C-alpha cells in the first residue's frame, strides 16, 4: 500500500477516535459511520466464486468486508463541508474512472455554501455521489441488501463538479449539476456533463423524482455522441407499515457502431412487521439489447430478478439482513461449477450485517 494511502487512513481513523466520546464537536463537526460485512452463497457453485451481474455483492462463498465508512460533516451556516471516507470491496468497485486513483478512499468530499438568494440557493463543489437512481451505495439506506440492475448498470456512481439546489416551494425542489462526467475526477474530453433533478412531493406520503444526465462521456479521439439517461422514481407510503416504490430508467449513447440503448424498471414493496423488522420484495426487468452496459454476448439481452429481503435490528445500531435472490436471462449467461456462461438463471442467498456508530 502506498505511503499516502496509509497516511490518509491514519488521518481519518485518528480524527474519528479523537471524537469518539463526543460526535458533535465545538466547531459543529459531526462524525458517524458504519461497517458492512456479508456472506453470499451461490447455489450453482461457480468455480470463479463470482455472482455474475452483481456490482457490490460479487464474492460468493466468502466472508467479505463490503464497506467501512467514516463521515465528517459540518452543516452549512452559511458554509460547511462533507467528507465520506470509504474502505472495502464496494469502494473498489465505485472508484473507477480517470483520476480516481488520486482520491481512492473518498466517496465524497465537497464544500457547501448557502447563498441568500430567494429561498436559499445551496451550492456544493467537489466530489459527490450521483443524483441518479432510487438506491444508493450504502446498503443500510436501501430496502434490499443487493443492488438492482438499474443501479449497477444504468447510471453512474459519482461525479466531480458543482451542484446547485433550490427549494422552489415547500414541496418542489430543483437541482442542476455541472460535472466532469460519469465516475471521473478528471474529465476525458473538453465537454462538461449536465444533470437535472426535479423533486415534487404532492403530499406527505408521496414523492416524485425526475433525474436527467446528459453529456459526452467518451475520450477525445473516439467521441461519437452524447450519453443521455432519464431516471424516474415514485415513492408511496400507503400506511405506517406498507410502502411501495418504482424506479424506471432509459438511457442511450451514440457510439461509433450506432445508437446503443438500455432501459428497465424495478418495483419495490416493503412491509414493516414491527418497529425493528421488515420484509421487502423487489422485482425487476432490465433490457440491454446490444450488451452495451452488461457485456451480454447474445442479442436482445433481457435480465430479470426477484429479491426477497428480511431485516432485523438485533440492537439499535446492529442491522442483520437475510436475502434470497434469483436472476434470469433470456440467453446463456450465468455459470454452474466449471461451466462458464451456460445457464439462464442464478440463485443466491446472502446474510448481511451492518453496525452503525
Q: How long a stretch of residues is the chain?
A: 357
Residue 196 within a domain: yes
- 297-344 pLDDT, tens digit per residue, is 999 999 999 999 999 999 889 999 999 999 999 999 999 999 999 999
- Set of cell numbers at residue 316: 439499535
Give, rounded to a whole angstrom, the gap between the first and last alpha carbons of the chain.
Answer: 27
Among candidates 312, 292, 308, which has minimal Cα distance to 300?
Answer: 292
- 63-72 pLDDT, tens digit per residue, is 999 999 999 9
Residue 8 within a domain: no
pLDDT attached to residue 20: 46
Q: Which of 101-115, 186-200, 215-229 has the lowest mean pLDDT?
A: 215-229
Residue 250 has pLDDT above 50, yes or no: yes
Gyration radius of the chain's alpha carbons: 21
> Which residues constitute the domain of residue 94?
44-356
What pTM value is reported for the model? 0.90
Average pLDDT over residues 43-49: 95
- Set of cell numbers at residue 72: 465528517
Better-scored residue on pLDDT, 29 or 221? 29
- Set of cell numbers at residue 55: 456490482
Average pLDDT over residues 206-222: 91
Residue 126 within a domain: yes
- 128-140 pLDDT, tens digit per residue, is 999 999 999 999 9
Residue 350 within a domain: yes
pLDDT attached to residue 2: 47
- 91-122 pLDDT, tens digit per residue, is 999 998 767 777 789 999 999 999 999 999 99
Q: Band the pLDDT of 218: cuts 50, 70, 90.
A: confident
Residue 27 within a domain: no
Residue 5 within a domain: no
pLDDT attached to residue 135: 98
**Domains: count for the chain:** 1
DSSP code per residue over 232-246:
EEEEEE-SSSEEEEE
Query: Can you give the CATH number for the domain in which 68 is found?
Result: 2.40.160.10
What is the percent of the chain where pLDDT is above 90? Answer: 83
Q: Band the pLDDT of 160: cuts 50, 70, 90.
A: very high
pLDDT attached to residue 25: 56
Rounded Cα distance between 130 and 136, Å, is 9
Q: Band the pLDDT of 24: cuts 50, 70, 90.
A: low
Residue 39 within a domain: no
Rounded Cα distance between 308 and 152, Å, is 18
- Set of cell numbers at residue 322: 437475510
Rounded Cα distance between 288 and 108, Å, is 30
Residue 10 has pLDDT above 50, yes or no: no
Q: Residue 34 — φ and ψ, nearest 5°?
A: -160, 165
Residue 244 within a domain: yes
Rounded Cα distance between 338 and 357, Å, is 42
Amino acid at each position: 500500500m502506498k505511503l499516502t494511502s496509509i497516511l490518509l487512513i491514519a488521518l481519518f481513523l485518528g480524527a474519528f477516535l479523537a471524537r469518539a466520546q463526543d460526535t458533535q464537536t465545538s466547531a459543529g463537526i459531526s462524525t458517524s459511520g458504519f461497517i458492512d460485512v456479508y456472506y453470499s452463497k451461490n447455489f450453482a457453485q461457480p468455480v470463479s466464486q463470482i455472482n455474475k451481474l452483481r456490482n457490490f455483492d460479487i464474492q460468493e462463498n466468502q466472508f467479505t468486508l463490503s464497506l467501512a465508512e467514516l463521515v465528517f460533516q459540518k452543516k452549512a451556516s452559511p458554509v460547511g463541508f462533507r467528507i465520506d471516507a470509504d474502505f472495502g470491496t464496494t469502494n473498489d468497485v465505485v472508484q473507477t474512472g480517470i483520476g480516481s486513483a488520486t482520491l481512492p478512499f473518498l466517496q465524497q468530499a465537497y464544500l457547501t455554501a448557502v447563498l441568500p438568494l430567494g429561498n436559499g440557493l445551496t451550492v456544493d463543489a467537489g466530489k459527490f455521489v450521483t443524483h441518479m437512481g432510487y438506491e444508493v451505495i450504502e446498503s443500510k439506506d436501501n430496502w434490499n441488501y443487493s443492488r438492482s440492475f438499474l443501479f449497477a448498470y444504468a447510471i453512474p456512481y459519482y461525479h466531480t463538479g458543482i451542484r446547485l439546489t433550490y427549494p422552489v416551494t415547500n414541496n418542489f425542489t430543483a437541482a442542476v449539476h455541472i460535472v466532469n462526467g460519469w465516475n471521473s475526477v478528471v474529465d476525458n474530453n473538453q465537454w462538461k456533463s449536465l444533470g437535472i433533478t426535479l423533486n415534487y412531493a404532492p403530499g406527505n406520503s408521496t414523492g416524485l423524482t425526475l433525474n436527467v444526465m446528459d453529456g459526452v462521456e467518451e475520450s477525445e479521439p473516439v467521441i461519437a455522441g452524447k450519453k443521455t439517461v432519464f431516471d424516474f422514481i415514485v415513492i408511496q407510503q400507503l400506511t405506517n407499515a406498507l410502502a411501495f416504490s418504482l424506479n424506471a430508467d432509459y438511457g442511450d449513447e451514440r457510439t461509433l457502431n450506432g445508437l446503443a440503448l438500455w432501459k428497465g424498471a424495478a418495483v419495490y414493496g416493503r412491509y414493516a412487521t414491527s418497529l425493528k423488522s421488515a420484509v421487502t420484495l423487489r422485482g425487476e426487468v432490465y433490457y440491454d439489447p446490444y450488451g452495451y452496459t452488461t457485456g451480454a454476448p447474445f442479442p436482445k439481452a433481457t435480465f430479470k430478478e426477484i429479491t426477497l429481503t428480511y431485516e432485523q435490528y438485533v440492537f439499535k445500531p446492529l442491522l442483520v439482513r437475510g436475502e434470497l435472490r434469483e436472476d434470469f436471462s433470456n440467453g446463456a449467461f450465468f455459470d454452474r461449477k466449471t461451466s462458464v456462461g451456460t445457464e439462464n438463471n442464478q440463485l443466491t442467498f446472502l446474510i448481511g450485517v451492518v453496525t452503525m456508530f
